[in-house]
Amino acid sequence: MKAVQFTSNSLTAFRLTELPDPKPGHGEVLLRLHAATLNYADVAVATGAFPGATFPMIPVADGAGEVVAFGEGVDATALGLAAGDRVVPHFMPGWQDGAMTPRNVAAMRGITLPGSLADYVAVPASSLVALPPHLDFVQGAALPIAATTAWNAVRSASLRPGSVVVLLGTGGVSIFALQFAKASGATVIIASSSDEKLERARQLGADHLINYRATPAWDEQVLKLTGGRGADLVVETVGEASFTRSINAAAMGGTIFTIGFVTGTAASINLLPIIVKALRIVGNSTGSVADLAAATRAIAAHRIVPVIDRVFGIADTAAAYAELSAGGRHFGKIAIAH
């Protein structure tokens, strides 16, 4: 099969090569992959910031494809699976449901397991979620990390009509969070470096737009927009540069869903507002197969269409990584189709 191999910690160390087709083992399903999407974590793996990869390896956690064959011990009828079904494999196949444990998150596609830049992959049958009919493979490939994380963000604050959500930037997680928050009836305030991207966010339903370059004190703007109350949920995708402002922008009892580090991880914070406002600082590491299934059900029910910024060919993998790692050029997800 055709595959991309990643050969060392460098954003350009990719080679397009021929490898033997994988065979599905016990409990596994063989998939013909058609698309992958990049997450910030794939860049972190490429640069060595995210540990665990051994070389050479097939990169990219998230993908989508169709069922080709079943390994021994897979009861396809009981699972409701047949050859040709369009599916998304979760990138942490060991984490089926419930809380994460060191054991159930030890294996990750695109890090310790073969990723999505290959024609075929064998994955546990229990890690598959059916692709909603209204999505194509590229859109489906956006679901495992970004949609699951955004779903857990929205769930963490039990959003309801009238809740206020703050989103930072217009990358993959923020845009899914915008779509889920609007489906929950929440009011969305989104901050971006670009007026053009803010206009696209408005077209997706964002209620209030803040350019964080023109208005660096975006937290004060959130307070102004909410009559001083603040946000019920801040989806913290940015990290070091924004954490103090996120605390300031949160309402009493609000949730800071702490997931991102695009500006670094070393935030120095004043604990007092966390105590006085009784904030919930909720860490998260993507989610389980059950979370992906729940996010996918919401996407099907609300006919949410993942926002894909650009689709690269598999031979242009390095260019796709460069586009994501440049930061701030894309809106939504960057995909690789094959």
Q: How far apart are the first and last CA of the chain?
A: 12
- C-beta of 160: minimal distance to ligand NAP in Å? 23
Number of residues located near ligand NAP, criterion CB under 6 A: 34
Q: Give the separation between CA 36 and CA 59, rounded to whole angstroms.
A: 10
Residue that is written with structure tokens 């800071």 in the block: 256
What is the CA 275 to chain-centroid distance, rounded? Answer: 30
Residue that is written with structure tokens 């040709």 in the block: 84
Q: Judged by CB under 6 A, does residue 168 bind ligand NAP?
A: yes
Binding segment toward ligand NAP, per CB under 6 A, in 26-34, 93-101, 142-150, 246-254: 142-150
DSSP letter assigned to residue 142: T
Enter the tokens of residue 152: 């857990």
Kindly write down the DSSP assignment for every residue of 207-236, as one continuous string.
SEEEETTT-S-HHHHHHHHTTT--EEEEEE
Q: Judged by CB under 6 A, does residue 221 bind ligand NAP?
A: no
Instruction: Find the binder of ligand NAP among 123, 173, 181, 188 (CB under 6 A).
Output: 173
Q: Judged by CB under 6 A, does residue 19 bind ligand NAP?
A: no
* Contact string 252-281 vs ligand NAP (x = CB under 6 A): -------xxxxx------------------
- C-beta of 174: minimal distance to ligand NAP in Å? 6
Instruction: Find the binder of ligand NAP among 17, 126, 156, 194 (CB under 6 A).
Output: 194
Cα-based distances in Å from 222 to 79, 189, 216, 328: 46, 7, 12, 22
Binding segment toward ligand NAP, per CB under 6 A, in 51-59, 85-93, 172-180, 271-279: 172-180
Q: Residue numbers of the site for ligand NAP (CB under 6 A)?
A: 39-41, 145-146, 149, 168-174, 191-194, 197, 212, 237-238, 241-242, 259-263, 284-286, 324, 327-328
